[in-house]
Structure 1
Amino acid sequence: MVDRIDRNMGAEAMRAATGRSHVEWRDLLQAAGALEWSHRQIADWLVAEHAVDPWWSQGITVDFEQDRKGRLPGQQADGTFSVSQTRTVPGERLAALAAVRAEIESRYGASHGENLAAAQPVVRWRLGDGTRLAAAAQQPNRSGTPVNLTIERLSDAAAMEAAKDEIAAIFAAVAR
């Protein structure tokens, strides 16, 4: 199962980056009326009113929604679910992405979109059940290129385990 964001976003890191704890942000947002706001309204408000870095504003918003609005771990703002995993694949950025792409195409066919010139090159597939899969290559490191696979638009939390297993199987096949 996917953990709540407050288990992945450490208390010390939160306070160092934003000046407040998880609980302090939750209380501030609730007092401001954020229970009635959309995800985007909350994140934008944090940036505009409290100068929170946009990346941290997303984390604070998800934490608030999980704690105070009943959002489940892995659940997106639209109510669907997603899972993602990152593994380092040998090779430079586009070569590593090509290796992962070849494995995914052997399973699902041709992609429906790509942006190989982006800061984080990405390839996307629409899967037959309405879900989507994306492979994105991050900045290479000494041992290769971290590639992130995300399956999104899952209908419910129960579908997350099978999606995580599928991602793991793709990475295992690439590693062989």
Structure 2
Amino acid sequence: MATKTRVPQTIDAYLAGVPDPAAKKTLTALRAQLKKLLPKATESISYQMPTFKVDGSAVAGFAFFKHHCGYYPFSGSVVPALAAELDGYVTSKSGVTFPPDQPLPAKLVKKLVQTRLAEIGTRAKKLAAAKKTLITERITDAAVKEATGHDWKAWMRVLDKAGAAGLPHKQLVTLVGRDVESGWWRQSIAVAYEQARGKRVVGETATTGFQVGVVRTLPMTAPQLWTWLTTQPERWLGPGATLNAEVGGSYVAPRRRGNPGVRGEIRVVKPGKRLRMTWQPDGWTKPATLQLTVMPKAKGASLHVHMEKLPDADVREAMRERWSKVLAQAF
């Protein structure tokens, strides 16, 4: 019977468990530098790695693997933005890897942190600016009342009373359409209501929410990759995971220290090609959607991981990091 790997609950415990002396020294020094750069940050273990968060947003993380260390800014744009500075390092969109005995230069770490903080600040400014572009501010009460019979406050009351807060976008548009003939006005009123009730934010689409995709070509044939997905769920969902890869079937990944449990239902199965399922970690009120697509290549096969309906941008980046790490460690 295999022994379950215990995930450390603190950064101290994580570092204590690093078996490579050079890696332990390098990551301990990196942690000290991050503490100086981010004095107000909260330290935690997220997705099995030491993570520094500022006001709830992950800014920096690091990890040790069998032969290398990794630095992760929890963003898909920070590493590409610093391509010139990172020339010579092994990188992906979501991270940088380096030998245990060759720490990242302090100036480079500082640049990575500053770029991530600037990105978070820009996003906050965009969200604040979005308040000035609300439909209810762009279209006057007089205009909406003349066209539809209600001003904005009246529409909010009518839709609240009709239970619109729990409706998806298409059903909300249909509800508005009972009293409004114009398709343009139906959409405008529906979006205005979603904005007013916090159901729609910048960067989110009405149908798919926040999305993320990760692709990796693996050293196996497409049939072998499909078999791996459907018969070894513990390799990509985590230790103890179970999967019934049939339409209507389910999967469960038990809770582990540092990671919530996840469960879901299989919605689409195209043998040898695609799995589509819900994705609902412990504590989520609504599930996201996960799709895994296998595509044959001249050398090996690629696995496309795509997620939709994620709750916010931070979760999107956390999922990007999760799947990048899973695929990097798969073989």
TM, length-normalised to structure 2: 0.28
Which protein has greater RCO, CA pairs closer than 8 Å, 6+ apart? Answer: 1
Is the radius of gyration larger for structure 1 or structure 2?
2
TM, length-normalised to structure 1: 0.49
User: More strand by proportion, 1 or 2?
Assistant: 2
